[in-house]
Amino acid sequence: MTSPHQALPERRLTRLGWSPAATPKELVLFVNPRSGGGAAKRNGLVEGARERGIQAVVLDPGQSLATLVDQAVAAGADALGMAGGDGSLALVAAAAATHGLPFICVPAGTRNHFALDLGVDRHDVAGALDAFHHGFERRIDLAEVNGRPFLNNVSLGIYGEAVRHPEYRDAKVRTLVETARHVLGPSGKTPALRLVDDAGREHARLAVVLVSNNPYATDRPVVGSRPSLDSGLLGILILDAPGDPPPPGRAWSAPDFEVSAPATVAAGIDGEAVMLDAPLLRFTVRPSVLRVRIASHHPGASPSARLPRAESRRTTSPGDDRGGPR
């Protein structure tokens, strides 16, 4: 029987669009022990999962996460969880969407951007496992670029180049500054990206292109947070290279979007360095295809979704360590 104290967060989740969900039978959690500087071990996730009757699959170096997920689904898994970085989360989430299975995000990465926007308490890593048994569920969007899924964002231009450097994760700001100096300096060369914005203006000298799965909030207290993950829209933010005619940048939203380039393009996809095939990068969003579950005692909404609506309309740009490009 639910106590009045327990009912309070559950009523709050219901108001936010979550619904109580029955416990699946075959529960599988994939664990990357190297993510987040060993966050899984520090939080006892493998032991905690097994105590809850969840099969914990620990990734060894060189193993294919995609293969392990396929094997688990073939063996009858009916709930998939991932404890790792956002790139790994996206892979498991895409498999869950394909098979119509619930997905559980366990925030064991470095910044846990997706967990923040989903409403998972990033400081309660082990508690996120409760979503398997005592979870609340809803449907959210999943975005794609050239058929590759992403949960957070794809960054092109300066960010896309910077993510390729091994130093990026340990010295993010310094690497971005050095990359910007190289790309935008007198002898630099901006990535050859072209696009047409929502006002019909062509952009041919772009320093930054950021495409997100749902638009980021535009109010300063929660820079880098998305108020919704089920709008059915991409968020698009561009910054032109210095010297181009004003305006130097623009932000808008759309269900799909295209960028052209003459050669392969360096990109950061949910923080992972990837090369995308040219000449056309096609972005799209798949509305409400992903069933997500969270623990009943977690917030259930991002910081920007919890702000008064009037505050959430003020404008700024995404990008600090609370979210934004990774």
Given phi > 0 = left and psi -120 to 50 = alpha, else beta, which region is 284?
A: beta
* Predicted pLDDT at 306: 73
Instruction: Tell me the pLDDT tens digit for each residue of 39-90.
Output: 999 999 999 999 999 999 999 999 999 999 999 999 999 999 999 999 999 9
246 vs 185, residue with greater confidence: 246
Please work out, in degrees rounded to the nearest 5, the angle formed at the alpha carbon of residue 96 by the alpha carbons of 90 and 97.
85
Question: How far apart, in whole angstroms, are the C-alpha atoms of residue 302 and residue 304?
Answer: 5
pLDDT on residue 157: 87
* Structure token pair of residue 294: 């969270």
- Report, in angstroms and rounded to the nearest whole number, the Rg of the chain calculated over CA atoms: 20
Asked if residue 195 has pLDDT above 90, the reply is yes
Residue type, 42: R
Give buried/exposed letters for 253-272 (b at 16+ CB in 10 A, else e): bbeebebebeeebbbbbbbb
Q: What percent of the chain has pLDDT over 90?
A: 66
- The string of pLDDT tens digits covering residues 141-163 is 999 999 999 999 999 988 766 55
Query: Which pLDDT tens digit goes with each residue over 262-309?
Result: 889 989 999 888 999 989 999 999 999 999 999 999 999 999 987 654
Alpha helix segments (H runs only) across 52-126: 65-74, 86-99, 113-118
Residues with Cβ within 8 Å of residue 63, at least 6 apart in sequence? none
Instruction: State the pTM of this model.
Output: 0.84
CB contact at 8 A, 283 and 148: no
Question: How many CA atoms does the CB half-sphere of 123 hold within 13 Å?
Answer: 1
For the chain, what is the total number of helices (H) and then of strands (E)? 8, 17
Beta strands in the chain, from DSSP E residues, in sequence order = 19-20, 27-31, 55-58, 79-84, 102-107, 135-145, 148-150, 153-157, 195-196, 202-203, 206-213, 234-240, 249-254, 256-260, 265-269, 272-276, 280-295
Q: Which whole-number Å values give the CA distances from 285 to 84, 137, 177, 214, 231, in the listed order?
A: 23, 20, 31, 8, 10
Give per-residue pLDDT as tens, 306-319: 765 444 443 333 33
pLDDT exceeds 80 at position 321: no
Q: How far apart are CA 88 and CA 73, in angstroms?
A: 16
For 31, phi then psi, to 5°, come to -125, 125
Residues β-bridged to residue 124: none
Q: Which residue has tokens 């559980």?
A: 104
Percent of the chain with pLDDT over 70: 78
Residues 11-39 have a mean pLDDT of 95
Highest mean pLDDT among 143-147, 166-170, 173-177: 143-147
